[in-house]
Structure 1
Amino acid sequence: MSKERIKDFIDKQLENLEDTIYKIEEDKNHIYAIFTEILSENANIEITFKLLDEVLYMHSITYGWKPVEKGVANKYFWIELLKTEA
């Protein structure tokens, strides 16, 4: 799995936002982006990624596994990142 590819995807999504803090962790099946600050607000959001046949997928509780790099598929990343925790 490529931590660098996921970091590049996230950095591209956040290129105009300076106050987002995250770290990337990896196990043998998935890579996790853990956000601790988003838009100057404290956060505790973990987003799971995986590469399958060279396609980058992101997991959303609402939508399941979605490819996120083509077209407007990055909307699933933003929905997951900005949703309010209940």
Structure 2
Amino acid sequence: MSKDRIRDFIDIQFENLEDPIYKIEEDENHVYAIFTEVLSKNVSKEITFKILNDILYLHSVTYGWKPVEKGNANKYFWIELLKTEA
């Protein structure tokens, strides 16, 4: 169920954009979206999600755990996905 919710979240984020190439992996505590292509560019990005009290959270190294489905909180998804490694 959590995998489907994360896929739905990602699908909404890429609505009207090119579909990313990614896979979903899950362990006992977290779900990982592992991206290999975003906006026609090859990438190697892993984004960690968890669902706690029916709220979807994303982990950002910069911001920590952030809920991402309400208001403009999806910005944390885009910040994490598009930031470049120094």
TM-score range for the pair, normalised by the shorter chain length: over 0.9
Q: Indicate the percent of aligned positions where both proteins have the same amino acid.
A: 78
Structure 1 partner of 2:55: 55
Which segments of 5 or more consecutive residues in structure 1 lack a partner in the other structure? Answer: none
What's the Cα RMSD here? Answer: 1.0
Query: Residue 6 of structure 1: SS of its match in structure 2?
Result: helix
After alignment, is 10-19 or 74-83 more displaced? 10-19
Which segments of 5 or more consecutive residues in structure 2 lack a partner in the other structure? Answer: none
Count of residue correspondences? 86
Query: Could you tell me the TM-score, scaled by structure 2's length?
Result: 0.95
Structure 2 partner of 1:17: 17
Q: State the one-letter code of the partner of 1:53.
A: N
Structure 2 partner of 1:27: 27
Query: Residue 62 of structure 2: SS of its match in structure 1?
Result: coil
Question: Structure 1: which 4+ aligned runs deviate by more than 2 Å?
Answer: none
What is the CA distance between 1:19 and its match in structure 2? 4.4
What is the CA distance between 1:39 and its match in structure 2? 1.3
Query: Could you tell me the TM-score, scaled by structure 1's length?
Result: 0.95
